[in-house]
A = this chain, B = another copy of it.
């Protein structure tokens, strides 16, 4: 049951990285939404390997197939199943890691938990699983469109290079204008250089994705455990390599006094209720207040490095291990559509939960 997310707009993902396929069932998507395979493919293309010089050069086309739930271009209200077949699953040699526990991977913990594992490329623990999330996110975003809700994520930090401007000073239409997906071209250039340097050193580096959600009506989110930011936090922390989540004023904001931090309400010229500042990040008491929602997600550096590392095998013996194959020096650019997708899934679920309570 842990492979499902959402209460009403509910996805269940499946697939090992080198099994036959990865995919998703979306159960609960409302009927009558227009959807095309092209829209799904467009999102997958933002995530796929080999899309630029700073991602892994692996060539995977990640073509989605619809198995159910969509008929004549519309959602049926029945479970929507999307599948992406894995390529060349037999062609690689994974024997060097069959018995090894790679440092900071999930090889050891899966073995400890299940007693066995599909060792090929990480199996279920591989970030390849996020293909399914991105595909499902397209349907969630479709539903949110009906409510005027829009989600934009971008790379805000790579290693120590940080985009210092707040999102309000950025043009979020420029996110895809460069390969690192940072909407500030100057910072983007420095990030790209850093990733290239790290890659050339056979190393990897982490960073931060920021996400901004606009158009949310007041009233989304559910007290007390399923607070809007608590679900966003869980959804983000469930993405591979994520180590932290903060929204609104976040960790820095703890230094502020209440008198500085409080967001004063006012009524604008159109009679809309707004706040003069937005340290709350658009959420108060776990419920959206109609202001922009924004949050940060911390990604650690990729664990697979092309340098020799000391570790142990499943007999407990110390061994040396060198990463093989082609890997990302930095997952941040490819993480952007995953954050978009998970945010969309969270919001879609809350939109439906809010609808449910209408009498």
Contacts and interface: CB of A to CB of B under 8 A. Distances in A.
Nearest to A11: B225
Interface in A245-263: 245-251, 253-259, 261-263
Interface string A234-254: 110110100111111111011
A85 to B, nearest CB: 9
Interface residues of A, number: 153
A179 interface: no
B312 A13 contact: no
A188 B258 CA distance: 21
A258 B288 contact: no
Contacts of A235: 225, 230
Contacts of A67: 14-15, 19-21, 23, 83
Interface in A262-278: 262-267, 271, 273, 275
Interface in A92-119: 101, 103-106, 108-110, 112-118
A228 to B, nearest CB: 9
B359 A33 contact: yes
Interface string A60-97: 00000111110100101111110100000000000000
A231 B112 CA distance: 20
5 contacts: A1-B7, A19-B67, A71-B116, A101-B265, A108-B265
Given A67-B83, A244-B246, 10 more contacts: A1-B7, A2-B353, A3-B79, A21-B81, A32-B115, A105-B284, A204-B258, A237-B245, A271-B316, A355-B358
